[in-house]
Amino acid sequence: MRRIEEAVFKALMVISLFIVLGSLLAVILVVVIRGAPALTLSMVTQVPQGGFYLGKEGGILNAIIGSLYVATGATLIAIVIALPFAWYLNQYAGKSRFADIFRAILDIATGVPSLLYGAFAFSIMLAIGAKTSLLWGILTIALFITPLLARSFDEVIQTVPFKLKEASFALGATRLETVLYVVSRQALPGILTGILLAFGRGIGDAASILFTAGYTDSIPTSLGDPVATLPLAIFFQLGSPIPAVQARAYASGIILLAIVLILSVVSRVLTKRYMKYVIK
Amino acid sequence: MDATESVAPEIRVRDLHVILEKREILKGISVEIPKNRITAIIGPSGCGKSTLLRCINRMIDLVEGASVTGEVLIGNVDALSPGIELTELRRRVGMISQTPNPLPMSIFDNIAFGPRIHGERDSKTLDATVSRCLKTVGLWNEVHERLYDPAAKLSIGQQQRLCLARALAMEPEVLLCDEITSALDPISAKHIESELLAIKNEYTIIFVTHILRQARRIADHVIFLYLGELVESGPAAEIFSSPKDPRTKEYLEGVFG
Amino acid sequence: MVRQKGIISRRYRDLIAERAVLIPAILVSVILIAMVIVFLDKASPIFITQPITTLLFSSSWHPLSGQFGFFPFISGTVWVTLLAMGITIPISILSAVYLAEYAHRRVRGVAQPLIDLLAGIPSVVFGLFGILLIVPLIKEQIAPLAGVNSSGYCVLAGGLVLAIMVFPIVISISYEVIRAVPTEMREAALALGATRWETVKFVVLRKALTGIIAAIILGFSRAFGETMAVLMVVGNVPIVPQSVFDPAYPIPALIANNYGEMMSIPAYDSALMFAALILFVIVVAFNILARIVLVRVYRKGV
Ligand SMILES: Nc1ncnc2c1ncn2[C@@H]1O[C@H](COP(=O)(O)OP(=O)(O)OP(=O)(O)O)[C@@H](O)[C@H]1O
Ligand SMILES: [Mg+2]
């Protein structure tokens, strides 16, 4: 009886894991198989030409570049805010209650759906009369990924052993020097992973910038221009009744997937590379 | 800094009380530590040896809620005075801890860390400092070809010598050594001992140890602590041959601790 | 001698940094509070014109004639989320237990990066997957099997897509808490003659339970707020779904599809902000709940 129960549950576990990994494979395979026929070089080298949305010439370079602009800008802003935030939590707040309160706030902010950050940013835009633009796209994504980033920085920095800080203080370093040159150094692999994850979230999110970034067929030349992004390009092309355009949506899906995949590989490589100075 | 600091950095501890979590850990310690000698602090586990050391470079500040009163004069600067520049104090008073704690960077950067944060930017000077300190601790021959390798790759014994070199790089006047050989193999421990002996004429070294034979080997001066009190202190020869206090005698005979 | 330049500036730099690092912490907090204020402010007109019970429990959604009954959207959200969690919870926990307790190191080494990868896939791609595989599958295979007609764009499609999206969240947190159960506890049970599974069931899972609950709550709040993937496969018809084969219109989809489009009807905008407020409040409540549970876990020292 005991044996049977164990065998049954073990089988269920294996099946579950297969379902999980299988669905991952299914997601990738389905998108790749259906998108591959429409994936041409011009997809990634051209902006939409006349009649693109009717199935004619062109590509989605505008959205690829747009996504990179938006995600890069947002990630930079997020780093500038999140890194000091994590320093504060781990170096300056000590064991004070403020650290607990700010961590709780961070947790809540992390859980707020990206859509709501978009709605919030759009409300502000309406209030001040701003137009949809690259700048607002960046700001909206930054709103959404900053808490994520701060939380992941906080988590890696918390794991930095106390004895390292002690060594640094004993050499006469100030708290700032300790956090800049010792703590951040030790946490570097984790910090890089966090940044790439946040960048990936920024590139993949559509709900937040639906209202704020606008959409355009050209590559933005200033922060005030509207900007197209990959997820929205997929979404809009899917809405077309023309099969050729829909097929391009699938191909755009491959491009988005490829970016995510590259990010995850780069993250692994970087982590390995910067692990070598880390004290275990 | 002002000229007065160049006066002998003989350490004078006066009526030092430390209270941690409502327990009095040090109960009014008064003792003098001679300049450019090795002073061993001995005593049973938990008697407050590490706490005493941590008062001298104010690492005790990292313990939340610690209350410290009294005076710790280094030269004629009171290490406990609230207005003191901690970074400068810790530059003057180097510390090596029980387990080696290399920083997450290369061998070179570990040693250059101290001078760098204290304002040294010139790369030639840094190179010179690094090689001088590595030579002093006898590590130069072992590592000079891989100065830019991670410090974490060194063996434990090498790491501890690196930590010693790192402290020396700040040109301190005092070195605090808290059981610095206890995590090492006998050979590495011997290395460290002989290096301390070689440099003792330039530094005031305070050395905590549980190994009486080690204290006998290297100490010029001995301080015996027991349950947070100073029982006896004096020249090593005197303490080891004719301790005045019965508790010292019992400890040396291995009755407790 | 080491140069002693700039001691004062070092100390001041540290003190300035102490103040400066507070700014981001306050900024993030202020933004969160500002969101509540903005949503409340913009939603207030609809509060004033309609009683909150009507808003929450009426099914009549006729924005043009000023009727804003959110019940179809609320039930759409609840249906899709519950279905997704019903699928996710057992599969994720079983997978996590397997990875933490049974799997060979090599299996773990393969599975973990893949699960991380799954976590990184953008929601639009999941939506695409839903449209390409799940929707036709439901339309042509599953619905006929159940003897109903369905376009495929329905609660079931939304639930399935969402379930896959939530897998990595629940799995990775559960895995962490299970691994955090001390080995001695397992050994104690095994030494008493328990089988592996009994050890897991009576010792490990019991010890990790609160952490797993927290993982589930976090997965829940993620599912609740997910927008694009669901929007793409769920049909977006403002009716109260009667079965999993009916279309639904969850709240996030409602906001995403309409906010900013109907500026000429101020009440509509206000209603959408009311919807945003509902989402916000529920997600925050779930997060606080998860936090309370997790704090209890840490106190108990799993
Ligand atoms: N952070 C702390 N909080 C509270 N009590 C502490 C703390 N650190 C040390 N103590 C207590 O202070 C007393 C002295 O500790 P200390 O580390 O100075 O002893 P020690 O003589 O160095 O012992 P050992 O030889 O074992 O290293 C001990 O009773 C210890 O329990
Ligand atoms: Mg000690």
**What are the domain boundaries of chain C?**
2-49, 54-299
Which chain C residue has its CA at the smallest distance from A3's CA? C195
Measured distance CA(A85)–CA(C30) in Å, rounded = 14
Lowest mean pLDDT among A176-180, B167-171, C257-261: C257-261
| Structure tokens given for A207 | 């709900």
Measured distance CA(C47)–CA(A160) in Å, rounded = 49
Distance B48 CA to ligand 1 centre (A): 6
Quick one: average pLDDT of B84-97?
92
Question: Using only C-alpha atoms, what is the Rg of chain A?
Answer: 23
The residue nearest atom 26 of ligand 1, judged by CA position, is B45
Determine the 3-state secondary structure of B181 from DSSP.
Answer: coil
Q: Per-domain residue ranges for chain A?
A: 39-277
Quote helix, strand, coil % in chain B, to nearest 5.
Answer: 40, 25, 35
pLDDT of residue C168: 95
Measured distance CA(B179)–CA(A228) in Å, rounded = 63
Instruction: Say if the Cβ atoms of B87 and A172 lie within 8 Å.
Output: yes
Question: Is C270:C43 a contact under the CB 8 Å cutoff?
Answer: yes
Q: Out of B16, B20, B62, give the residue to mutate to test ligand 1, the one with the largest number of ligand atoms within 8 Å of its CB.
A: B20
pLDDT of residue B6: 36
Classify domain C54-299 by CATH number.
Answer: 1.10.3720.10
Measured distance CA(C126)–CA(A257) in Å, rounded = 10
Residue B39: closest CA among B76, B63, B15, B11: B11
pLDDT in tens, chain A (280 residues): 778 888 999 999 999 999 999 999 999 999 999 999 989 888 888 888 877 777 777 889 999 999 999 999 999 999 999 999 999 999 888 777 888 899 989 989 998 999 999 999 999 999 999 999 999 999 999 999 999 999 999 999 999 999 999 999 999 999 999 999 999 999 999 999 999 999 999 999 999 999 999 888 889 999 999 999 999 999 999 988 898 899 999 999 999 999 999 999 999 898 888 888 898 7
Alpha carbon of A235 to those of A31, A155, A249, B66, C162: distances in Å? 14, 34, 7, 61, 17
Asked if C134 has any chain A CB less than 8 Å from its own CB, the reply is no
Asked if A170 has any chain B CB less than 8 Å from its own CB, the reply is yes
Q: Identify which of A95, A173, A278 has the shortest CB distance to residue B104.
A: A278
Atom of ligand 1 nearest to the CA of B225: 21
| Structure tokens given for B110 | 């570990």
Instruction: Say if the Cβ atoms of A13 and C102 lie within 8 Å.
Output: yes
Q: Identify which of B59, B64, B104 has the shortest CB distance to residue A182.
A: B104
**Measured between CA atoms, how close is A91 to chain B, in angstroms?**
12
**What is the DSSP-derived secondary structure letter of residue B233?**
E
| Structure tokens given for C271 | 């209603």
Residue B115 with chain A: CB contacts under 8 Å: none
Q: Provide the pairing of β-strand B67-74 with B77-78.
A: antiparallel
Cα atoms in the 13 Å half-sphere on the side-chain side of A201:
24
- Does ipTM come in above 0.85? yes
For the entire predicted model, the pTM comes to: 0.90
Atom of ligand 1 nearest to the CA of B179: 27
The residue nearest atom 25 of ligand 1, judged by CA position, is B45
Instruction: Say if the Cβ atoms of C7 and B88 lie within 8 Å.
Output: yes
pLDDT of residue A276: 85
Residue A260 with chain C: CB contacts under 8 Å: 117, 120-122
Measured distance CA(C156)–CA(C248) in Å, rounded = 10
Q: Out of B24, B25, B95, B98, give the residue to mutate to test ligand 1, the one with the largest number of ligand atoms within 8 Å of its CB.
A: B25
Measured distance CA(B183)–CA(B188) in Å, rounded = 10
Distance B63 CA to ligand 2 centre (A): 14
H or E element at residue B175? strand B174-178
pLDDT of residue B7: 37
Instruction: Say if the Cβ atoms of B1 and C4 lie within 8 Å.
Output: yes
Q: Which ligand is nearest to the CA of B48?
A: 1
Complete edge-to-edge strand list for the sheet that includes strand B174-178? B93-96, B174-178, B204-208, B38-42, B221-226, B229-235
- Altogether, the residues listed in chain C come to a count of 302
Q: Provide the pairing of β-strand B67-74 with B11-20.
A: antiparallel
H or E element at residue B133? helix B123-136
Classify domain A39-277 by CATH number.
Answer: 1.10.3720.10
| Structure tokens given for A239 | 């809405």
For C120-134, what is each residue's pLDDT tens digit? 999 999 999 999 999
CA C260-C266-C272 angle, 5° bins: 55
Measured distance CA(B22)–CA(A47) in Å, rounded = 72
Determine the 3-state secondary structure of A255 from DSSP.
Answer: helix
